[in-house]
Structures are given as structure tokens and as C-alpha cells.
Chain A
Amino acid sequence: MDPETTAVDRGGRPPVGRRHAAVVAVVVAYALVAALTRPLTGAALVAVLVAGAPLCWAGVRRRPLRAEPVGARSAAVWLGVGGLAGAFELGVLLGPDDAAHPTLSTLADPALSTYPGRVIGYLLWVGAGLWLVSR
């Protein structure tokens, strides 16, 4: 007898492989539909919130996995890299608002203005969100 079928028949949760496949299918379907929305529209905002709000809610409510402490040095190094990136982006953002001084999102606009680019963008974003929530 198929062990996967047996597990479901016993009333337990579907096997991990089947659950992962279902999650991947849902994420791909979501990205394909969400990418149909155009940036700067209410539909695009709804598309982000449809996935973002439940994932944030689940991630905050979920009991975190036990993670090995990383120490102050690691925290300082990665906060430094993140702070540098944030300060650079902020500096560009507060500078002249023209094509000669593009922010990171302005640079990403050509890719995200195409349907395939937006599908990839949504896949990466939701994939990152699922990873964060699962920690």
C-alpha cells in the first residue's frame, strides 16, 4: 500500500512532500495572477496585501523555531551591511528626484514593468516571506 495514502487515510496531515507541492502550486498561481496587476494601482496594493497580511499575521503568531544564538559580532556585521545599504538608498532618495539619481526601486522598474519580471518579483517576495514565517 502507498505509505502516503495510508497517512492521509489515517486522518493525519498530508505527507510533507505533498504539502510542499501544494504550497508551491498556490504560490505560483498567486504570482501568475498578482503579476497581472499594474503598479501604482489599488489592485496591485490588494495583490500585495492578500499574501502579505496573512503571512505577517501567521509569522507573528507562530511560535518561533529554536535558533542557535549568533553573538554580537555577527549581529553587528550584518546590521552594518544593512545599515550601509539603507543609508545609501536613503541618501539617493533624499537627493535630486530625477533619472540621473535612481533609487533601487527605480532601477528595478524596467524589469518589474514586464509581466515575466513581475511574476519573478512576486515569486521571490512570497518565497522570502514563507521562509521567514517558517523560521
Chain B
Amino acid sequence: MTPREAIIAGFAAILVLAIATDLLSRRDGSGVRPFPATLAAALSSRGGRIVILGAWLWLGWHFLAR
């Protein structure tokens, strides 16, 4: 496996982990809330909104403008 393939596999594994975590969190009795609910809770404070919206703005710049 080349370094490039290993890096792509790493990103894919993290994506699969995130999706699997979200799906498992939606099952009855799960002690973990789904990602959107967790994000919404983080957005309920002024500090959380500043951090998350700042990250969103940075993502837009990084992927679309830089």
C-alpha cells in the first residue's frame, strides 16, 4: 500500500467511524446522542456558536477559496 492509499484509507475509516457512531447513537437505549443533536446542544451557548460558526467559515475558505 502506498502512502497515498494509506492516507485515503485513513480518511475513509474516520468517515465510516463517524457514520457508524451516528447510526448506533440512534438506537434505543444508546447513551450517546446523534451528531445533529449534539451539535445543536453546542450551539445553544454563545461561545459554542462562535467556535462552530468560525469553524464553518474556515471550512468554506479552505475548501472553496484557498
Contacts and interface: CB of A to CB of B under 8 A. Distances in A.
A40 B64 contact: no
Contacts of B18: 81, 85
B59 to A, nearest CB: 7
Interface in A63-82: 64-71, 73-75, 77-78, 81
Interface stretch (A5-13, A14-22, A53-61): A53-61
A32 interface: no
Contacts, number: 132
Contact of B65 (A45, A60, A88): A45
A47 interface: yes
A56 B53 contact: yes
Interface residues of A, number: 51
A107 B50 CA distance: 28
A83 B3 CA distance: 22
A48 interface: yes
Contact of B3 (A55, A67, A100): A100
Interface of A: 34, 37, 39-40, 44-45, 47-48, 51-53, 55-56, 59-60, 64-71, 73-75, 77-78, 81, 84-85, 88, 92, 99-102, 104-105, 107-108, 112, 118, 121-122, 125, 128-129, 132-133, 135
Interface of B: 2-4, 7-8, 10-11, 14, 17-18, 21, 25, 31-33, 35, 37-46, 49-50, 52-54, 56-57, 59-66
